[in-house]
Amino acid sequence: EPYDFAERLRAGETILSAWSCLPGRHVAQLLARAGYPAVTLDMQHGEHDFASVAATIPAIVAAGGTPVVRVPVGEFATASRAVDAGAAAVIAPMIDDVETARRFVAQIKYPPLGERSWGPASAMALAGVTDPLGWLETANRATLAFAMIETRAAFEGIDDILAVPGLDGVFVGPADLSIALSNGAHVAPSAESTHAAAAKIAAAARAAGRIAGYFAPSVEDARTAQAAGFTFISLGIDAALIAEAGRAKLAAFEAG
Ligand code: 3PY
Ligand code: MG
């Protein structure tokens, strides 16, 4: 049941997501069929545009997965369109202060929490909801807003950001976080110092009763993140998965 995603995360369950950069529904749908509970469509660094997102969300749901969308920096109108198209959660990158977090949340949540505009026909059809009032009453709980914490300002202001009403969780981008915390000296998403900073974010999120999400570049990173308290964890980028499988196939033949 794709729309119990929010409740499962709130209950503390760990949920893994594939990371989809390749536009079009096929690869994302295959990853949901392969068993990923969630698939995140990346509009920031991946090549999904809105048409691709709108076509891929129902394909993921049809395969039994939960669709999540990462929007480009500052594109909160796109966040609103993503939830109208049926995304169960939206991840907004580079949120570094309370005001920006509020503007993001406003586009995901209906009043009184936010200012989301009415137009959820596609999302309702996907969820099998026909009663508009029923949707209005459940959407704010069922549809999650994640602010990415990956700048120095966000890291330092984490408690204030976590207190923004309607913000369901934070999501750590360890590559940008490592660049920010080293003042541009390195990009080291898997470094111990990055995990140490991330662990503080997870602890703050849990103390605030919010969900902690993490972009894990490897299985080892995912395990470390889980141990630190992260529960919504992306693991496996579509393009990289294909390249890895191709390399393994070629190597297997050569080893013949
Ligand atoms: C980061 O690591 O900065 C990310 O945003 C992951 O995509
Ligand atoms: Mg980033």
CA 9 to centroid of ligand 2, rounded, Å:
22
Q: Per-residue pLDDT tens, the chain, 256 aa: give them.
A: 446 999 999 999 999 999 999 999 999 999 999 999 999 999 999 999 999 999 999 999 999 999 999 999 999 999 999 999 999 999 999 999 999 999 999 999 999 999 999 999 999 999 999 999 999 999 999 999 999 999 999 999 999 999 999 999 999 999 999 999 999 999 999 999 999 999 999 999 999 999 999 999 999 999 999 999 999 999 999 999 999 999 999 999 999 8
Contact (CB, 8 A) for 29 and 40: no
Distance in Å, CA 117 to ligand 1 centroid: 29
The DSSP result for the chain, as a single string, is: -GGGHHHHHHTT--EEEEEE-S-SHHHHHHHHHTT-SEEEEESSSS---HHHHHHHHHHHHHTT-EEEEEPPTT-HHHHHHHHHTT-SEEEES---SHHHHHHHHHHHS-TTT--PPS--HHHHHHHT---HHHHHHHHHHHSEEEEEE-SHHHHHTHHHHHTSTT--EEEE-HHHHHHHHTTTS---TTSHHHHHHHHHHHHHHHHTT-EEEEEESSHHHHHHHHHHT--EEEEEEHHHHHHHHHHHHHHHHHH-
The per-residue pLDDT for 179 is: 98
Which pLDDT score, from 0 to 100, does residue 256 have?
87
Count the neighbouring beta carbons within 10 Å of the beta carbon of residue 209.
10
Q: Is 174 in the pocket of ligand 1 (CB under 6 A)?
A: yes
* pLDDT computed for residue 3 by the predictor: 62
Show me where the domains of the chain are located. Answer: 2-255
How far apart are the CA of 137 and the centre of ligand 2, in A? 33
CATH 3.40.50.720 is the classification of domain 2-255:
no
What local confidence, expressed as pLDDT, does residue 2 receive? 43
Q: Which of 45, 48, 186, 195 is catalytic?
A: 45
Q: Is the CB of 150 under 6 A from ligand 1?
A: yes
CB of residue 189 inside a 6 A radius of ligand 1: yes
175 lines ligand 1 (CB under 6 A): yes
Could you tell me if the CB of 176 is within 6 A of ligand 1? yes
Rounded to two decimals, the ipTM of the complex is 0.99
* Annotated catalytic residue 45: yes
Pick from 40, 69, 176 the residue to mutate for probing ligand 1's pocket: most ligand atoms within 8 Å of its CB. 176
Determine the pLDDT at residue 1: 45
